[in-house]
Amino acid sequence: MNKNNFASVPPMGWNSYDYYDTTVNEEQVKANADFMSAHLKEYGWEYVVVDIQWYANKPDAMRDKFQYIPFGKLEIDQYGRLQPDKERFPSSSEGLGFKPLADYIHSLGLKFGIHIMRGIPREAAHNHCSVLGTDVTADMIADPFSICGWNPDMYGVRNTEAGQAYYNSLLQLYADWGVDFIKVDDICNTNMYVNNQYSASHEIEMIYNAIQNCKREIVLSLSPGPALIEKAWHLEKYANMWRITDDFWDSWELLKDMFKRCELWQKHVSKGCYPDCDMLPLGIVGKGFKNERHTQFTKEEQRTMMSLWCMFGSPLMLGAELTKLDKWTLSLLTNKDILSMLTPDCKPKQIEHNEEKALWISYNENTKEQFIGLFNLSEHEKRISINMRDIEEEKNEVNLLELWSKKEWNSEKGVVTAVIKPHDCCIFKVL
Amino acid sequence: MNKNNFASVPPMGWNSYDYYDTTVNEEQVKANADFMSAHLKEYGWEYVVVDIQWYANKPDAMRDKFQYIPFGKLEIDQYGRLQPDKERFPSSSEGLGFKPLADYIHSLGLKFGIHIMRGIPREAAHNHCSVLGTDVTADMIADPFSICGWNPDMYGVRNTEAGQAYYNSLLQLYADWGVDFIKVDDICNTNMYVNNQYSASHEIEMIYNAIQNCKREIVLSLSPGPALIEKAWHLEKYANMWRITDDFWDSWELLKDMFKRCELWQKHVSKGCYPDCDMLPLGIVGKGFKNERHTQFTKEEQRTMMSLWCMFGSPLMLGAELTKLDKWTLSLLTNKDILSMLTPDCKPKQIEHNEEKALWISYNENTKEQFIGLFNLSEHEKRISINMRDIEEEKNEVNLLELWSKKEWNSEKGVVTAVIKPHDCCIFKVL
Amino acid sequence: MNKNNFASVPPMGWNSYDYYDTTVNEEQVKANADFMSAHLKEYGWEYVVVDIQWYANKPDAMRDKFQYIPFGKLEIDQYGRLQPDKERFPSSSEGLGFKPLADYIHSLGLKFGIHIMRGIPREAAHNHCSVLGTDVTADMIADPFSICGWNPDMYGVRNTEAGQAYYNSLLQLYADWGVDFIKVDDICNTNMYVNNQYSASHEIEMIYNAIQNCKREIVLSLSPGPALIEKAWHLEKYANMWRITDDFWDSWELLKDMFKRCELWQKHVSKGCYPDCDMLPLGIVGKGFKNERHTQFTKEEQRTMMSLWCMFGSPLMLGAELTKLDKWTLSLLTNKDILSMLTPDCKPKQIEHNEEKALWISYNENTKEQFIGLFNLSEHEKRISINMRDIEEEKNEVNLLELWSKKEWNSEKGVVTAVIKPHDCCIFKVL
Amino acid sequence: MNKNNFASVPPMGWNSYDYYDTTVNEEQVKANADFMSAHLKEYGWEYVVVDIQWYANKPDAMRDKFQYIPFGKLEIDQYGRLQPDKERFPSSSEGLGFKPLADYIHSLGLKFGIHIMRGIPREAAHNHCSVLGTDVTADMIADPFSICGWNPDMYGVRNTEAGQAYYNSLLQLYADWGVDFIKVDDICNTNMYVNNQYSASHEIEMIYNAIQNCKREIVLSLSPGPALIEKAWHLEKYANMWRITDDFWDSWELLKDMFKRCELWQKHVSKGCYPDCDMLPLGIVGKGFKNERHTQFTKEEQRTMMSLWCMFGSPLMLGAELTKLDKWTLSLLTNKDILSMLTPDCKPKQIEHNEEKALWISYNENTKEQFIGLFNLSEHEKRISINMRDIEEEKNEVNLLELWSKKEWNSEKGVVTAVIKPHDCCIFKVL
């Protein structure tokens, strides 16, 4: 299996984290999947991803003190593999794991994803659990010095045959369940280890091997960022997507900063290889964090975010509770012209970038379409121009379509100019 | 209790680590104590310290792979407090802990010390052990993100009342045993946390409080180094000694480097407050490390080490197996003139220091004695001088005694000069 | 000459910088000296220091763009030594340099100081000027890679005999003028060289040597900070005072931060050796910076500043234009009780320090007087206590005098408590 | 002019530095050009580049102390522009500059390049020289705080219109001379400024603008490295080549390290944009450095170097004195198969890399040729394999030609294997 074929375009979907934090349950997942199937699927949205701690009992019982309860009760099988919390995911009782839920998602024509922390549960190591199909025990493969800096559940797995056997047993289980996508956390940047932030690189390789071994095309997504540019070649070899920033939320500062990360990673988007700008905190978010709210992004900022993610080629994962999606937000997610840039056939290129503005172009090598993005990063309305020479030497007088407003445009003397509101953008297609 | 009275001079003693690593047993501790009592006590040597993992079963069973076995079997009581390994310390069976051994040491007129790792056993936290005298359990005081970077046994303790209760229960146990000295590890520099190497400062305070609470004068020694000079005031307030380098061994490079550390800490030696240059790897060392050997230090280097430790005012802890001590090494440890500098009455001062040499003086504010140390740090024989003006303005022509050779000396025109072999030193007392 | 005798207490005086920046002239210096002589001298204030660029022609001609004009016109003699700008210091014409002004200051019973940048004028090096008393030229001693990061006038001087000759010629000139104090800049922390901030250590030694050579007791003050604690022993050997922070101005943030620096340097105050908290931006300041203003410090903050500087043992250099001093500020500077702590006989010691408060004590080894400082660093009124056990074991019930309010006080059950306004302090003397 | 057309393949040529250091003269340049024209031109070698300090008088007069004499005598015109040293470049007298030499090089069918330091001579600034075509003087555009950390000749130029005018006057002069290539130094990584190593980015833009302005296609090469990957987009926009390491010399350690740099920059090779591995220290080098020698690289290492540079797509600049080239070295430089990989049509890709080996492939998008490089980075002979699946999914049994030995080869079961000597490589073309 060539992992670059698992996701021939940047994955689009929904993720439970931004709205539910650790608390999502089966019914809620299904409701979001239903909405996606009914309203978004036709635009390319297809993944439904259950995020962190689906294996924890009453994970929010101490939410005022801890996001993840230290030494809390986790659902775990005899081989040290985490299982869905039966209370929140009743269909998993009887030892069926996520299979019933995955079946349901598949029945809607969608794909099913789960989040995992790299490693093996600390509890399994301290209890000397068996590793399936081997005669070793968990304490022999767990590295007590390899922990996550923010979640207390796991120990890293050693780079040994027995360690690989554990990951094989894990991925085989997921394949049996019907998982199509795993978001592995604490692995892309093990930020606890300030001097060795890629300390789990062997676990990336082991998970890749386990996917190959299980014979199911499971998309591999790595978190958290920022990924290290020095490791781009390694990420491209073993993973499908990897986070290029730390957690992204609905703050202009973070959005503005994303332009710097896209600047750095622009050459690294290709089929099956997607630098990941993180989830889209749109619509209603934050309930599980005890801060339910409409996204704090203005409409201008939301356009800018969608445009940058699409021009750059990032995966799109919705953080919104879909069942509460308003009409305007829905329109943002279903702009076919904007979404048409989201393909590895499009080659993005930053033309200019400073504190005040960013200019990007994107060229579809297949359709020969050309796109231009003018972003106003400043705090005031601004006239922003791009010279057609930066795109193609000969074209001077061109007609363009602005893809949000659907207005037609002309370049004058080889220069495309727009007056843009603060934090807003214009995205043109050359006609 | 004023902790500065617990150790009115820098502690002198023996520590099991350099020779035994994790493996020392009761018989061996006693044999070393017997030797100290017979041959060293009269010179001021008095502490007998059992170093790391006295609570571990067969700690060297995997010595080719691990110094400390991950998830290995530890002796631990119902309150999450570690107990001596019964196999190695038979007198501790019947729940007596170290009391019988401490009694024996005390019967020789010596003092008894133990090593501990800061924190609470990971096992206690995962098993939700009770904390003595409280209704909380270990998981509620253990911090799953606070680990040691090189020993897998413990979690750090949170800065709460219940955390203090745990430390109180621990020190009360040690006081009951008759412990006179604790060397707490992974606390002075929590080097795992590169950006916060003093991350366990609250545990220093809690242990200080627990000592005050237990009403026994237990000397508090903190490891490992290098201690942070920014925290000198805090260390001086709560501890008796603290390591100023990482582990010290028999290598000239490390010894030469110690001059830099003493340079930095010279103003911080006072009664009850001793920056610690670490143990003296003299005589026969290394057996537990599978590298039994005579110290690799030359005689010149051994003199230099003893002289620097004494002039600077560091605690002196012998790493040698005492029962194998040769005559020459014994003479090194029993030079009363050299040892006479080891008192906080003596104020050390570095006069000069570069790659080639170091000049130190020390002035005993009580006896008015003056000492001069000339150290040849270079690789060749070297004429080294010090100007009496650097010591006292008026003295010009003085008589001196070199304290290793016992030769008399004269300053000429206010200059004291000696020709010194590489890595060797001359230590003068002004007569 | 023993440099520790040049300044047996922390120097107190006035410096032109905070009010005049680069622009001060002879008349203004004299007016401030006159005021000092009439109103401050009896309290110990004695130095009158002319700060940076007294050698520059019309130094503020481009003040909107540059603090120091690049390649501007400097007064310079044939030996590459800077001379006072004749326009601003008319008495210096006829080649008399600062001698007439120094004579005037001396006639008032005061002492005269000047600021210099380390090194030799760039212009002298490019013009291959002679070095007095040698056959070398300036280009042979100037190091073109050793520049200051913020002032364009000089190159560093190489560590050679000819380099020493240059500094000797410089200090001889200053001695001839009657200079009592030099503040050498860009030398204590050569912050341009991020990886080697003590890169000019040889120039410190050369200037020390040149002072010894000129046979005049010239106090040596080094700027800017922060000085490196690792170099404390070297600074103490060669200099009289050295800055422990970057430039200090009238901002609470900087004042609060000074507690951290004093915490670090508290053991390093002794006769002739003074860590320097920088000038006191009191009264009217800022004219030369085009920002003339009354100090932005509140009265509480001014008390806190004076108290910390005095308890810690910092030199006191007034930044105020003295002729405009208001009565309240004058009273702040003439509180004899507070100033009585400003002697190396007093040993300062920080007892506690966190974001909310700082506790200091000071003990005069000579008079046996004890002082207690309680500082409220928080933003709200706060009850602050100190336990007498932190000072002396036996004293329990003591009477105290608060040195700003002159109110008497009692300790209760061995605890001294005061309710203190935000940013304010209480300073007690034990009676 | 589109700068990407100035150099449609990675430039190949000769540079005077590795052999001559600062000392090269006209006759020597011509002799090397003659050799290139006769023996190398047909293989694509075409640039003849005069490296650093061609403007300095007797630059090696103090070679034992300085590589570049501080405040040494430089040839400079009235507008602050450096001119060739007349003694070494006699044809430049009469004010002709490098025109006669450039004409000679051109007459051989070759191209002429020069090295410059960014900025304006310090001397010009201190002397307030005029800037051609403006009414400003050099002191107004020179930044006294912007210096080079290792060469004392220049100050950086401010980012102003007058600064641009200076660079325009400079490039106009070079265009008039017939310069085809400039290697600008202290600009790609201004390593003096540890916290801002891209501090001269505005000078890159100004030089780019000046080239556009002068209307001559002058290839822009930036030194020294390592270039910052964060600035890749900026370098690609304004320059033709930029160094990705610090100076490269004939040491295996440096060569081995180059694999890490190529790993990082592999996505950044495209037409007109060439990450630069630096000059090839082959044949006889080092004379100007008083260390004339045959390259210390073994033949295996030389093959490895040539193979990496060509597969990766680096410019090739010979450091050897060409007139002394031995036959074997000549054969190394004229291997047409190896050189055929040196085109931006070839897309390089690292497949694997660790301490022991590196695997690279390269695919020519135009000719569809595929290349495989197996590099043995270890110290022992090693069997190294690559799986054809890493190259193309379907090809299994392929025939290959090893390009150094010209031996034919076969893959077995889809695996290409070779036994390779330490530091050596095999480069295959898929037939």
Predicted TM-score (pTM) above 0.90: yes
Asked if the Cβ–Cβ distance from D152 to C142 is below 8 Å, we say no
Nearest CA to D50 out of D72, D17, D88, D83 is that of D17
Which amino acid belongs to residue A131? V
C324-327, long-range: CB within 8 Å, 24+ apart, which pairs?
A: C324/C283, C324/C284, C325/C35, C325/C39, C325/C283, C325/C284, C326/C283
Which residue of chain C is at minimal alpha-carbon distance from D123?
C126
Cβ(D133)–Cβ(D198) below 8 Å: no
- CB-nearest to A233 from D232, D350, D393 is D350
Q: What percent of chain B clears pLDDT 90, i.e. is strictly above it?
A: 95
Helix, strand, or coil (residue C42): helix
Strand C111-117 with C47-50, pairing: parallel
Q: Round to whole Å and give the CA distance between B198 and B190.
A: 6
- Could you tell me if C253 lies within 8 Å of chain D, comparing CB atoms? no
On whether the CB atoms of residues C106 and C181 are closer than 8 A, the answer is no
- pLDDT values of chain D reduced to their tens digit, one per residue, 431 residues: 999 999 999 999 999 999 999 999 999 999 999 999 999 999 999 999 999 999 999 999 999 999 999 999 999 999 999 999 999 999 999 999 999 999 999 999 999 999 999 999 999 999 999 999 999 999 999 999 999 999 999 999 999 999 999 999 999 999 999 999 999 999 999 999 999 999 999 999 999 999 999 999 999 999 999 999 999 999 999 999 999 999 999 999 999 999 999 999 999 999 999 999 999 999 999 999 999 999 999 999 999 999 999 999 999 999 999 999 999 999 999 999 999 999 999 999 999 999 999 999 999 999 999 999 999 999 999 999 999 888 876 777 889 999 999 999 988 888 999 999 999 999 999 99
Three-state SS sequence of B68-118: CCCCCCECECCCCCECCCCCCCHHHHHHCCCHHHHHHHHHCCCEEEEEEEC
**Could you tell me the sign of the dihedral formed by the alpha carbons of B226, B229, B231, B234, in that order?**
positive
- Closest approach of chain B CAs to the CA of C417, in angstroms? 21
Q: Is B162 in the C-facing interface, judged by CB distances under 8 Å?
A: no
Pick from C127, C137, C140, C145 the residue to mutate for testing the D interface (most D CBs within 10 Å). Answer: C145
- Rounded to whole angstroms, the Cα distance separating C22 from D145 reads 19
Note the pLDDT of residue A393: 66
Token pair, residue D161, equals: 């219109």
**Integer Cα distance of A186 and A122 in angstroms:** 15
The C-alpha atoms of residue C257 and residue C241 are separated, in whole angstroms, by 19
Phi first, then psi, for residue A308 (nearest 5°) are -65, -45
Q: Calculate Rg over the CA atoms of chain C.
A: 22
Total Cβ atoms within 10 A of residue A417:
15
Partners for A (CB, 8 Å, 3+ pairs)? B, D
Contact D267 A232 (CB under 8 A): yes
- Report the chain A residue with the minimal C-alpha distance to residue B146: A149
Q: Which residues pair with C417 in a beta bridge?
A: C385
Q: How far is CA C91 from the centre of its chain?
A: 26
How much is the pLDDT for A414? Answer: 86
- Please give the Cα distance from D411 to D389 (Å, whole number): 12
Q: Does A65 touch chain B (CB under 8 A)?
A: no
pLDDT in tens, A267-312: 999 999 999 999 999 999 999 999 999 999 999 999 999 999 999 9
CATH superfamily of C350-430: Golgi alpha-mannosidase II (2.60.40.1180)
> Which residue do the tokens 């780079």 mark?
A159
Cα(A262)–Cα(A282) distance, integer angstroms: 20
B264/chain C closest Cα distance in angstroms: 6
Cβ atoms of residues D4 and D271 within 8 Å: yes
Nearest to C201 by CA among C172, C237, C245, C175: C237
Q: Determine the distance in angstroms separating the CA of C60 from the nearest CA of chain B, rounded to an integer.
A: 40
Cβ–Cβ < 8 Å for D19, D287? yes
How confident is the model over A12-22, as a mean pLDDT?
Answer: 98
Question: Chain D closest CA to C170's CA: distance in Å?
Answer: 22
Q: Which residues contact A404 (CB under 8 A, 6 or more apart)?
A: A303, A307, A335, A338, A425, A426, A427
Q: Which chain B residue has its CA at the smallest distance from A153's CA?
A: B144
The total of other beta-carbon atoms located within 10 Å of residue B135's CB is: 8
- Which residue ranges make up each domain of chain C? 3-343, 350-430
What lies within 8 Å, CB to CB, of A294 at 6+ separation is A283, A284
Q: How many residues does chain A have?
A: 431
Chain centre distance of CA C358: 23
Picking from C244, C267, C350, C391 by the largest number of B CB atoms within 10 A of its own CB, the best residue to mutate is C267
Q: What is the CATH number of domain C3-343?
A: 3.20.20.70
Q: E strand or H helix at D372, and its extent?
A: strand D370-376
Query: Can you tell me the distance from the alpha carbon of D171 to that of D179, in angstroms, rounded to the nearest whole number?
Result: 9
Name the band, by pLDDT with cuts 50, 70 and 90, for residue B347. very high
DSSP state of D93: G
Give bridge partners of residue B182 from the DSSP assignment: B114, B220
Asked if B71's CB is within 8 angstroms of A142's CB, the reply is yes
pLDDT at residue B393, rounded to an integer: 66
Q: Which residue type, as a one-letter code, is found at position C315?
A: P
How many Cα atoms occupy the beta-carbon half-sphere of A156 within 13 Å?
Answer: 24
- Residue-by-residue pLDDT tens, chain C, 431 positions: 999 999 999 999 999 999 999 999 999 999 999 999 999 999 999 999 999 999 999 999 999 999 999 999 999 999 999 999 999 999 998 999 999 999 999 999 999 999 999 999 999 999 999 999 999 999 999 999 999 999 999 999 999 999 999 999 999 999 999 999 999 999 999 999 999 999 999 999 999 999 999 999 999 999 999 999 999 999 999 999 999 999 999 999 999 999 999 999 999 999 999 999 999 999 999 999 999 999 999 999 999 999 999 999 999 999 999 999 999 999 999 999 999 999 999 999 999 999 999 999 999 999 999 999 999 999 999 999 999 888 876 777 889 999 999 999 988 888 999 999 999 999 999 99
Of the CA atoms within 13 Å of residue A155, those in its CB half-sphere come to 26
Shortest CA distance from D195: residue in chain C: C194
Asked if residue A1 lies in contact with residue A217, where contact means CB atoms within 8 angstroms, the answer is yes
Report how far residue B155's alpha carbon sits from residue B146's, in angstroms, rounded to the nearest whole number: 6
DSSP B144-164: TT---SS--SEEEEPSSHHHH
Picking from D1, D230, D233 by the largest number of A CB atoms within 10 A of its own CB, the best residue to mutate is D233
Q: Most D CBs within 10 Å: which of A1, A235, A267, as the mutation test of the D interface?
A: A267
Per-residue pLDDT for A392 more than 80?
no
SS3 at position A167 = helix
> What is the nearest CA distance from D362 to chain A, expressed in angstroms?
15
Alpha carbon D56 to its chain's center: 22
Is C267 in contact with B263 (Cβ distance < 8 A)? no
Cis peptide, bond prior to residue D224, ω within 30 of zero? yes
Phi/psi at C264 (nearest 5 deg)?
-70, -35
Torsions phi, psi of D275, nearest 5? -60, 135
> Across the interface, do D144 and C123 touch by the CB < 8 Å criterion?
no
Decide: A123 and B126 in contact? Cβ < 8 Å: yes
Q: How many C-beta atoms surround the C-beta of residue C290 within 10 A? A: 10
Q: For D18, list phi and psi in degrees, rounded to 5.
A: -60, -30
D3-344: CATH architecture: Alpha-Beta Barrel (3.20)
Chains B and A touch (3+ CB pairs under 8 A): yes
Count the residues in chain B.
431
CA distances from B304 to B298, B356, B390, D311, D338 (A): 10, 14, 21, 56, 61
HSE toward the beta carbon, residue B114, CA cutoff 13 A: 24
DSSP C208: H
Which of these, D50, D44, D112, lies nearest to D316 by C-alpha position?
D44
Whether A142 and chain B come into contact, CB under 8 Å, resolves to yes
**What's the gap in Å between the CA of D229 and the closest CA on chain A?**
8
Give me the residues of B, 391-430, that contact C with CB < 8 A.
393
Question: Distance (Å, rounded) from C-alpha D113 to C-alpha D54?
Answer: 12
Q: Which two tokens stand for residue B418?
A: 């000696």
User: Which positions 182-211 of A are in contact with D (Cβ < 8 Å)?
Assistant: none
SS3 content of chain B, % helix, strand, coil (to 5): 35, 25, 45
Helices B99-107 and B161-177, axial angle in degrees (round to 10): 50
Average pLDDT of span B255-270: 98
Residue ranges with strand state E in C16-152 = 47-50, 111-117, 120-121, 142-143
Location of structure tokens 């019914």: A27
Query: What single letter denotes the amino acid at residue A28?
Result: Q
